[in-house]
Structure 1
Amino acid sequence: MTTVLSWNQWLDYPHWFWLAIGGLLLSAELLGAAGYLLWPGFSAWLVMLISLLMPTLSWPWLWAYFSLLSFVTLLGWHYWQQRKTASSTPEVLNQPQQQLLGYHATLDAALIDGIGRLRVGDSSWRIQADQPLSAGTQVVVIAIEGITLRVKPL
């Protein structure tokens, strides 16, 4: 026969409480909390371990540990995310022309008055240079101005 614990009996076993809270927080994280419930969930499990290692610790101390651990882990996650974002290269998603910076190509046709066309993959781009260039000249894309690629000879 299984026995269901009353509320007073649950208070005698804080590790079960913290296990349940951690599980609930991590389950809620699965619903899409963007990482904000992940660290309090892990903190609750750490408090569960603390309550197992120090069973005489009172509830206010357990809540203090939970608050401190949640704050420290959330702060650590926040700084790790900022450092990761700062060290990554700039996003070029939905800006495919930005990927053309530094692109090397050979001109198929001469530039007249510094303006012409350049074939890149399956598209054709308007290009502009500071001086007229002849066909066969190696160029590199140095800037993008609207729908015009600025090029210079190599």
Structure 2
Amino acid sequence: MEVVDFIGQYGAWSWIVAGLILFALELMVPGGFLLWLGISGIVTGVIVMVQPMDWPWQWLVFGVLGLVSISLWVRFNRNRHQNSDRPYLNRRAERFVGHEGVLEEPLMNGYGRLALGDTVWRISGPNLPIGTRVRIVGSEGAVLKVEPI
């Protein structure tokens, strides 16, 4: 009951301080939720300054503001599409779709190897002899799919 006594004694200032503490915690534990709870705490403090109310109503206002602000943030953030300057950053195999190469080893039993840049990739496709020019048409995991040109 110490929290209730603290809120009762300091009123609106306790909510503002709690909001600032939640802001500071957001800096240490990023994720976005503590930011919105901190804003809810500060807004609750301002509301209590303007319109005094008992502590159960203060908690209700804080809870409603917190739930509404977090749900709006999640909805906005979920629908936001972020364009990247490196769209293939963790999808290296997809980056090579459309590239061409020459087989240095034959493609036998549907599998072989192809050197692209500084990496030797496992490839799949029809059986082909050494020296055949191939085009990469897709990927399946770390295996590049090729077809003869």
TM-score bucket of the superposed structures, by smaller chain: 0.5 to 0.7
Q: Quick one: percent identity of the two aligned structures? A: 26
Secondary structure at 1:102's aligned position in 2?
coil
Query: Does the C-alpha gap of structure 1 residues 142 and 15 become closer, same or farther in structure 2, counting only changes over 3 Å?
Result: same
Q: Distance in 1 between matches of 2:12 and 2:88?
A: 45
Q: Distance in 2 between matches of 1:99 and 1:31?
A: 36
Q: Which moved more, 1:73-82 or 1:121-130?
A: 73-82
Q: Does 1:104 align with 2:99?
A: yes
Q: Distance in 2 between matches of 1:48 and 1:145?
A: 53
Whether the 8 Å CA contact 1:111–1:132 is kept in 2: the answer is yes
Q: Does 1:129 align with 2:142?
A: no
Matches within 5 A, 1:42-53: 42-52=39-49
After superposition, the C-alpha distances for 1:44-65 in whole angstroms (9 at most, x for unaligned) are 111123234x334444333221
Following superposition, the deviation at residue 120 of structure 1 comes to 1.0
Gaps of 5+ in 1: 1-6
Q: Does 1:140 align with 2:128?
A: no
Following superposition, the deviation at residue 69 of structure 1 comes to 0.3
- Which letter does structure 1 place at the counterpart of 2:42? W
Following superposition, the deviation at residue 42 of structure 1 comes to 0.8
Following superposition, the deviation at residue 118 of structure 1 comes to 1.8
Q: Distance in 1 between matches of 2:93 and 2:26?
A: 36
Q: Does 1:38 align with 2:35?
A: yes
Gaps of 5+ in 2: none
Instruction: Tell me the TM-score normalised to structure 2 length.
Output: 0.67
Match of 2:144 among 143, 149, 153: 149
Q: Does 1:68 align with 2:64?
A: yes
Q: CA-atom RMSD, angstroms?
A: 3.7
Number of aligned residues: 142
Q: Distance in 2 between matches of 1:137 and 1:17?
A: 72
Whether the 8 Å CA contact 1:110–1:134 is kept in 2: the answer is yes
Following superposition, the deviation at residue 27 of structure 1 comes to 2.0
- Which letter does structure 2 place at the counterpart of 1:63? W
Whether the 8 Å CA contact 1:101–1:144 is kept in 2: the answer is no
Whether the 8 Å CA contact 1:100–1:141 is kept in 2: the answer is no
Q: Does 1:26 align with 2:23?
A: yes
Query: Does the C-alpha gap of structure 1 residues 69 and 116 become closer, same or farther in structure 2, counting only changes over 3 Å?
Result: same
